[in-house]
Chains A and B, each alone.
Chain A
Amino acid sequence: MGYDIEVSHLSLRYDENYALKDVSFQLKEGKIYGLFGRNGAGKTSLLSLLASYREPIEGTIKIGGEFPFENQAVMQNVIFIYDKDDSNNTDTVKSLLEFQERYRPDYDREYADYLLKRFDLPLEKQIKELSRGKKSALRATIGLASRAKVTIFDETYLGMDSPTREIFYEELLKDHERVPRTMILSTHLIAEMDYLFEEILILDKGKLLYHEDYDSFVSRGVSITGPADQVDRFVKGMNVLTEKQLGPTKQVMVYEKWSEKLEREALQQDLEIGAISLQDLFHYLTEEGAKKDE
């Protein structure tokens, strides 16, 4: 059974407000996807539907060609890791891992033990006694060692210090290489995680704004710097994200399908061309959406 994900015309309403509106996309099995969106964009709603935490009412979700909700074979192979309130959880680290071992068909105990050492997690300690960063590290351990065919991490880094986050990203990448599977990483720390993503999805106000492979998406974000009137002429008709002017020099950021011809033209006009980071691109693109809505 393959684990391609097919989401079709998915909407989710809380009373009269749409958390998700007519979202459709397909995710091929085995890739790492980045899911971005501002607060309240609908990321967690989408992920909770994928993980069968709630039943899709409007639209459909299929995983491996099957409806996942109440489908034991699929649900066991989808793991959703998120920042939950564990402040009263008296279970030990050990018992939590044993539970996963019992119910996750591809759980790897040796790998879990290795990760426990890497994250310096105490096996016998109660969850409520762990610091926030250690709790997140434990969730990362569970998410990775479960080796679920669809692994969803929703801001799993919360509370982790920088070196721990580095370990998490490193292990995630290494393990994905060893055991390729679909991973969906929802994050606000786009800048430090951008090298992980093969494809990106951007949600804004419940709608899917973009779903593309990382390289082509990022290649469209270009900054053009030069004399103001020349820059204005050059970017006419382009999708301008933002512009800054300092004296006679202007910098414009555009989101445009870039070609060699355009690049040649820019160079001939002595315009400086630069790349835009994924983080900035996300920022400007969703800001644009926000402005349009106002």
Chain B
Amino acid sequence: MNNRVSHKVAMDLYLVQMTWTLVFLGIMFIVHIVKVISAFFIEGVREDFFLSVHASTFVYMLVIGLIGAQGFFPYFVGNGITRRNYFKGTFFGLVGLAVTIAVIVALITGLEYMIVKLFNLPIVFTNTMNNVFESSTPDLGEIIKMVVMSPYFDLSSSWTLSMFTFVLFACIHYLIGWLIGAGFYSLGKGVGFGLIVLAIGFVLLRNILWGMDWGKPFYHLFPLESFEFPLIVSVCGTIVIIGILLWMIWRITKRAVIKL
């Protein structure tokens, strides 16, 4: 029975969040098309769809993770689903969601390259990210950018790595939203704000693992250069971060009181 219930939860959450996601991707797609069409009039290089939605998708994942913790959790548990089954269902739903988003984004990106090539359109796509950090002082904008920007691997160099990291990072951002939301819901504002700081730490750690130029805004405080790790270390490290996030969420929610 436990499995059946957690599968149902996974399916229900997947479908609800997928509905939101289609709206989100639809809006992102329209914005992208407008940007691409503008290339006809204003000369310039345009990002491909994969790069275009990269950062915003992760912010979106964080937001829906947060909403789920505050809304779905009390609703499901208050209606007789155990915290354990909700936890399992949410995680499986998340994996499905992240994979689906990655596939949709990759397909659209592939399609746009095909169309441009097929009709020989005068559009040049770029799939490389510009220098992320411009400032070498830790102002708020740079800090937010550090959290929002994720290591990026373009589809053409290695589509498997690109898709795999996209799914992993989407999961991390969702889990961070879930962790913060669960903290605010169950443990109050003090712990909630503490978890935000911790979450920033997790994101930066993830960025270090993937060799991102994380330290520039903080270079005066921590004169560290970016690191290079073997791929296996980066992947395993990221999975460990996901594991820690899941463990923390479970610790917070396994006895959480449902508020009336």
Contacts and interface: CB of A to CB of B under 8 A. Distances in A.
Contacts of B81: 72, 75-76, 103
Given A53-B257, A55-B255, A80 B82 contact: no
Given A72-B2, A72-B5, A103-B5, A84 B80 contact: no
B182 to A, nearest CB: 16
A44 B82 contact: no
B257 A54 contact: yes
B257 A77 contact: no
Given A55-B255, A102-B8, A72 B260 contact: no
B12 A102 contact: yes
A52 B77 CA distance: 9
Interface residues of B, number: 19
A54 B258 contact: yes
B158 interface: no
B78 interface: yes
A27 B5 CA distance: 28
A79 B80 contact: yes
A17 interface: no
Contacts of B79: 79, 99-100, 103-104
Interface in A58-89: 70-73, 75-80, 82, 84
Nearest to B76: A103
Contacts of B258: 48, 53-54
Nearest to A85: B260
B68 to A, nearest CB: 15
B85 A44 contact: no
Most buried by A among B1, B2, B80: B80
Contacts of B46: none
A225 to B, nearest CB: 44
B173 interface: no
A219 to B, nearest CB: 35
B206 interface: no
Nearest to A76: B80
A103 B80 contact: yes
B19 to A, nearest CB: 12
Nearest to A100: B79
Interface string B1-33: 110010010001000000000000000000000
Contacts, number: 53
A73 B77 CA distance: 13
Interface string A246-271: 00000000000000000000000000
A115 B81 CA distance: 25
A127 to B, nearest CB: 12
Given A55-B255, A84-B260, A104 B80 contact: yes
A70 B80 contact: no
B54 interface: no
B78 A71 contact: no
A82 B78 CA distance: 11
Given A48-B258, A102-B8, A53 B85 contact: no
A12 to B, nearest CB: 11
A71 B260 contact: no
Nearest to B9: A103
Contacts of B83: 70
A80 B78 contact: yes
A53 B8 contact: no
Nearest to B81: A103
A52 B255 CA distance: 10
Interface in A20-78: 44, 48, 51-55, 70-73, 75-78
A169 B193 CA distance: 47
Given A72-B5, A102-B8, A103-B8, A82 B260 contact: yes
A76 B81 CA distance: 6
Contacts of B77: 52-53
B257 A71 contact: no
A73 B1 contact: yes
Interface string A133-158: 00000000000000010000000000
Interface of A: 44, 48, 51-55, 70-73, 75-80, 82, 84, 99-100, 102-104, 148
8 closest Cβ contacts across the A-B interface?
A: A53-B258, A54-B257, A76-B80, A75-B80, A70-B82, A72-B82, A55-B255, A72-B2
14 contacts: A48-B257, A53-B257, A53-B260, A70-B82, A73-B1, A75-B80, A75-B81, A77-B80, A79-B79, A99-B12, A102-B8, A102-B12, A103-B79, A103-B81
